[in-house]
Amino acid sequence: MNESFDVAIVGAGPAGISAACILADAGIKTIVFERGEYPGSKNMSGGVLYGHNLRQILPNFDQLGCPVERNIIESRIWYLSKEAGYTIGYRDNIFTQERKYNVFTVGRAKFDRWFADQARKKGALIVPATVVVDFLRDKNGRVSGVVTNRADGEVPASVVLLADGVNSPLAAKTGFRAELKPEHVALAVKEVIELPAEVIEQRFCVSPSDGITTEVLGEITGGMDGVAIIYTNKNSISISVGANLADFVRTKIKPYELIEAYKQHPLVAPLIAGGKPIEYTAHWLAEGGYYTIPQVYGNGYLIAGDSAMLFNALHREGSNLAMASGKMAAETIIEALKRGDTSRKSLSLYAEKLNDSFVMKDMKKYRNFPAFLYNTHQLFNELPQVAQLAAREMLTVNGISKKQKQKDIMAEIRKKIGLFKLARIIWRGWRSVK
pLDDT, tens digit (0-9, with 9 covering 90-100), for 277-306:
999 988 888 989 999 999 999 999 999 999
Q: Predicted confidence band at 227 (pLDDT cuts at 50, 70, 90)?
A: very high
d(CA 110, CA 372): 36
pLDDT of res. 45: 57
Q: What is the pLDDT of residue 172?
A: 66
How high is the pLDDT of residue 321?
96
78-100 burial string, b = 16+ CB within 10 Å, else e? bbbbbebbbeeeeeeeebeeeeb
Strands 301-303 and 297-298: antiparallel
pLDDT for the residue 46 = 62
pLDDT of residue 174: 77
Other C-beta atoms within 10 Å of 310: how many? Answer: 28
Q: Which of the residue ranges 117-131, 189-203, 306-320 would you say has the lowest mean pLDDT? A: 306-320
What is the C-alpha radius of gyration for the chain, rounded to an integer number of angstroms? 23
When pLDDT is cut at 50, 70 and 90, the band that residue 336 belongs to is very high
The confidence band for 65, taking pLDDT boundaries of 50, 70 and 90, is very high
Q: Which residues pair with 159 in a beta bridge?
A: 7
Looking at residues 58-80, what average pLDDT do you find?
96
Half-sphere exposure of 34 (CA within 13 A, CB side): 24
> At 413, which helix (H) or strand (E)?
helix 402-416
Quote the mean pLDDT of the chain: 93
Round to whole Å and give the CA distance between 48 and 318.
Answer: 9
pLDDT above 90: residue 2:
no
pLDDT at 178: 80
d(CA 148, CA 254): 35
Q: What digits encode the pLDDT tens for the residues 255-285? A: 999 999 999 999 999 999 999 999 998 888 8
pLDDT surpasses 70 at 221? yes
Query: What pLDDT, on a 0 to 100 scale, did the predictor assign at position 316?
Result: 85
Give pLDDT, residue 370.
93
